[in-house]
Structure 1
């Protein structure tokens, strides 16, 4: 799969799949509201990036720039035909040499996962960090918007009924979790979506993050 690199820090993901509608799961008098909006997080091992000079070195003395992707936040607007999620994040950077002003461009990605593993959309963009002369720290931010087709993400009515039906003591299936049914569990998993962000790292950079 090929992904187009964008030159601006604002991306739009047009998805054919998405997250389920809001549903209330009631079991034994306890209800849990399942949001239609995807959860948002930084992917493991991709929240930090380290640039070296020279680039082939991995010595601490060769560290040029380090940056962290943090403060990930999201807002979600649910509509009758689509669910729109806007994700914002900050990039905090440090550099070793502080003599002159400098701009450093860092690549990042945004991906949507379905069922915890299936990538339904991914885009790569760039954020530019501006260091002032004499300053060793800099900060910038990025933003991404995803659009999800609501109808494509809705659970079948029969599955929704199984999940939301009130169970009373004495019922034959009162103590049976409907998610124990592999078919029901698969349907729910298939309608569960996550938005993940992180730096777009090379294989060497991923290895460095995993072993440092």
Structure 2
């Protein structure tokens, strides 16, 4: 996983929440407003969005593929008025099998993870999505769900940090061209208050290597 990089120019105001501003708006002072939500960003980590099983314990050629499945159509709904902040996630799993003889049920493991600051896993749950292949059918589809919880206090910037980041700077000020996030303490505080909700297949080490190198 790659840590999320947060880079803001000195003209960007980082806001906790706002009802009247939208990301990218130019405010009255000529600065640009970037809206910071307490809701976690939802994503699929690299190399975890598909899973492949094989008919042979050693053969990894295309001819030996048994079942392949991918995650698609990830959707989320966040209740940012609650405490803890609840994010409901759903996604579709599309699968294809090579041998279409008879009916077959396949269960595929997936995870839901809360990541803090781009690097720290603070919660993880494992689930199973059931796929049903009907006789003669090569494709199957199912929907899986997950839920994450983040406390409001953890996702809220300390007031002193928020004031430092959102303080208006005018041309001629000594720090007018200084990015607030160049301060390690501010950067660390923003990272601690930044969360991601990640979903993906729960892969073995071998399956991860296959996805990364194929």
Q: TM-score range by the shorter chain?
A: 0.7 to 0.9
Match of 1:145 in 2: 147
Task: Check whether the contact 2:117–2:194 (CA below 8 A) recurs between aligned residues.
Answer: yes
Over aligned residues, Cα RMSD in angstroms?
1.9
Match of 1:173 in 2: 175
Shift of 1:80: 5.1
Cα displacement string for residues 77-99 of structure 1 (whole angstroms, at most 9, x for unaligned residues): 11252211111111000001112
Match of 1:103 in 2: 105
Rounded to whole Å, the distance in 2 between the matches of 1:47 and 1:130 is: 20
Task: Check whether the contact 1:28–1:167 (CA below 8 A) recurs between aligned residues.
Answer: no
SS at match of 2:174: coil
Match of 1:6 in 2: none
Match of 1:82 in 2: 84
Task: Check whether the contact 1:83–1:148 (CA below 8 A) recurs between aligned residues.
Answer: yes
Cα displacement string for residues 146-180 of structure 1 (whole angstroms, at most 9, x for unaligned residues): 12110233211100101111222222222221111
SS at match of 1:123: strand
TM-score for the superposition, normalised by structure 1 = 0.85
Task: Check whether the contact 1:82–1:150 (CA below 8 A) recurs between aligned residues.
Answer: yes
Task: Check whether the contact 1:28–1:168 (CA below 8 A) recurs between aligned residues.
Answer: no
Cα displacement string for residues 91-130 of structure 1 (whole angstroms, at most 9, x for unaligned residues): 0000011120111000111111111110001111100111
Match of 1:68 in 2: 70
Shift of 1:198: 0.8
Match of 2:122 in 1: 120
Runs of 4+ in 1 over 6 A off after TM superposition: 23-27
CA distance 1:107–1:80, shift in 2 (3 Å): closer
Which structure exhibits the higher relative contact order, with contacts defined as CA atoms closer than 8 Å and separated by 6 or more residues? Answer: 1
2:39 maps to 1:44? no
More strand by share: 1
Match of 1:22 in 2: 17
TM-score for the superposition, normalised by structure 2 = 0.84
SS at match of 1:179: helix
Q: Pick from 172, 179, 184 the counterpart of residue 186 of structure 2.
A: 184
Gaps in structure 1 of 5+ consecutive residues: 1-19
